[in-house]
Amino acid sequence: MAQTAAKTQKSAPPPVKTPVVLTERTQKVIAKLESQLKAPLITYWNSDGGSICATDVIGLYGVLQTVGKVDHLYFFVKSDGGQGEASLRMVHLLRQHVKRLTVLIPQDCASAATMLALGADRILMGPLAHLSAVDTAFRHDLSPIDRDNNRVSVSQDELHRVVRLYQRQSRGKPSNPYESLFAHVHPLVIGAVDRISALSTKLCVEILSYHMKDGRKARRISNILNEGYPSHSYPITLREAKRIGLKAEPLNENINELLFELNEIYAEMGQRAYTDFDERNSHDNSIVNILEAKGLQIFFQIDKDWHYRAEERRWVTLNDRGGWRKAEIVAGELSVSVFHVR
């Protein structure tokens, strides 16, 4: 009997890990920041597993409703990027609510997040802050497959470099580099990558136009960000940001320290809440995106199972219940509920 009970206890699945919600702490830091900035503040934070996406626009709209229309707004951004189209929509939404927009960057603000920063009248950067190039890598349904049976991303810069290298090595002899390239990269992928590269430049020009009236300057900055760096992750520091024509300035030391304090709390909320059941089944319950203003915090929480299909050599998701949540302090107590996004 004891052996049967022990066997049952051993086979019981572990409890599913849940993330912590620390709205009481973040609201206190936001109050300190607004006191020093003397203007409203909205924060936008992505974990390593999060990214800028279309539903963030609805989340931002919900947070902006608590702020209303103001003359000056500070916008803290920490993100590794995501969808450029979503960045344009977020900038469009922000510019309808504020006359002057200042982006605060204490750390990384890369790729599509750099596009987001382009929509601000001023960009304030701390000692560890950096923007990045915005050239876009694209994963197509016909992209090459890697060793894990996943489609890989292809960038315009990579394709151009392959063609240039091929032409240099041909030493002036008549040759067609695409004949060899097509054996590895489908022609439709090459066409799609060219289209997405043009889209990236267009997005930057459009975002800059919200405050930059010099169209030639906007196009020059956009071309540099899309074609001027040999690496997508090239760190554009404060000095480089000024050099290419952005209105970037140093971030106040006290503000930078408070933003790091806020980032530390967000990082605690965004720790990976991952539960392994066995070698083929697990559950992810992590918080990946956070938007917040005084009185309201909205976050996206993953809530789904992962299953490894050995015959396909890939992981698939099951029972996806993830979505946006809102956290508020009501009568001194933390209240978390569903934030409905249509």
And the tokens for 165?
Answer: 């290298």
Rounded Cα gap, residues 232 and 226, in angstroms: 9
Residue 303: what are its φ and ψ, rounded to 5°? -155, 85
Which parts of the chain fold into alpha helices (H)? 2-11, 23-37, 54-67, 84-97, 112-118, 156-169, 177-181, 187-208, 215-227, 238-243, 253-269
> If DSSP codes are grouped into helix, strand and coil, which group holds residue 218?
helix
What is the per-residue pLDDT across 198-228, written as a single tens digit (0 to 9) for each?
Answer: 778 899 999 999 999 999 999 999 999 988 8
Domain that holds residue 244: 14-132+235-338
Cα Rg of the chain, angstroms: 23
| Residue where a domain terminates, one of 234, 257, 278 | 234
Does residue 30 surpass a pLDDT of 80?
Answer: yes
Residues 246, 205, single domain; the answer is: no
Are residues 120 and 53 located together in one domain of the fold?
A: yes
Structure tokens at 59: 């989340």
Q: What is the mean pLDDT of the chain?
A: 86
50, 288 Cβ separation under 8 angstroms: yes
Q: What angle do CA 321, 81, 206 make, to 5 degrees?
A: 115
**Three-class SS state of 104:** strand
Query: Angle between the 215-227 and 187-208 helix axes, to the nearest 10 degrees?
Result: 140
pLDDT in tens, 51-103: 999 999 999 999 999 999 999 999 999 999 999 999 999 999 999 999 999 99
Average pLDDT over residues 175-182: 66
Please check whether residues 165 and 85 belong to one and the same domain. Answer: no
Please count the structural domains in the chain: 2
- Is residue 36 located within the same domain as residue 49? yes
Among 189, 212, 234, the domain-final residue is: 234
How many CB atoms within 10 Å of residue 340? 10
**Chain Cα centroid distance, residue 176:** 38
Cα(95)–Cα(73) distance, integer angstroms: 10
State whether residue 323 is helix, strand or coil: strand
CA distance 289 to 300: 5
Say whether both 242 and 122 belong to one domain. yes
CA distances to 152, 155, 178 from 159, rounded to whole Å, are 13, 7, 10
Question: What backbone torsions phi and psi does residue 120 show, to the nearest 5 degrees?
Answer: -95, 150
> Could you tell me if residue 111 is inside a domain?
yes
Residues 109, 253 within the same domain: yes
Same domain, 125 and 211: no
**Could you read off the pLDDT of 306-334 as tens digits, one per residue?**
888 988 888 888 988 889 999 999 888 99
Domain-ending residue, one of 196, 218, 234: 234
Q: Name the phi and psi angles at 210, rounded to 5.
A: -65, -20
Q: What pTM did the predictor assign?
A: 0.83
- CA dist., res. 142 & res. 137, Å (int): 14
175 in any annotated domain: yes
64 with 187, same domain: the answer is no
In a domain, 5, yes or no: no
User: Percent helix, strand, coil in the chain (nearest 5)?
Assistant: 40, 25, 35
98-105 and 70-78 strand pairing: parallel
Looking at residue 175, its pLDDT comes to 66
Q: Are residues 57 and 117 in the same domain?
A: yes
- Quick one: 245 and 114 in the same domain? yes
Which token pair is 61?
A: 């709209």
Q: Is residue 2 part of a domain?
A: no
Residues facing 45 on adjacent strands: 78, 290
Count the Cβ atoms, other than its own, within 10 Å of residue 323. 14
Three-state DSSP state, 257: helix
Is 6 part of a structural domain of the chain?
no
- Does residue 149 have a pLDDT over 90? no
Indicate the range of 5-19, 204-218, 287-301 predicted with least confidence: 5-19
Q: Tell me the DSSP string of 28-43.
A: HHHHHHHHHHTS-EEE
Q: What is the DSSP letter of 152?
A: P
CATH of the domain at 260: 3.90.226
Lowest mean pLDDT across 161-170, 197-206, 278-287? 161-170
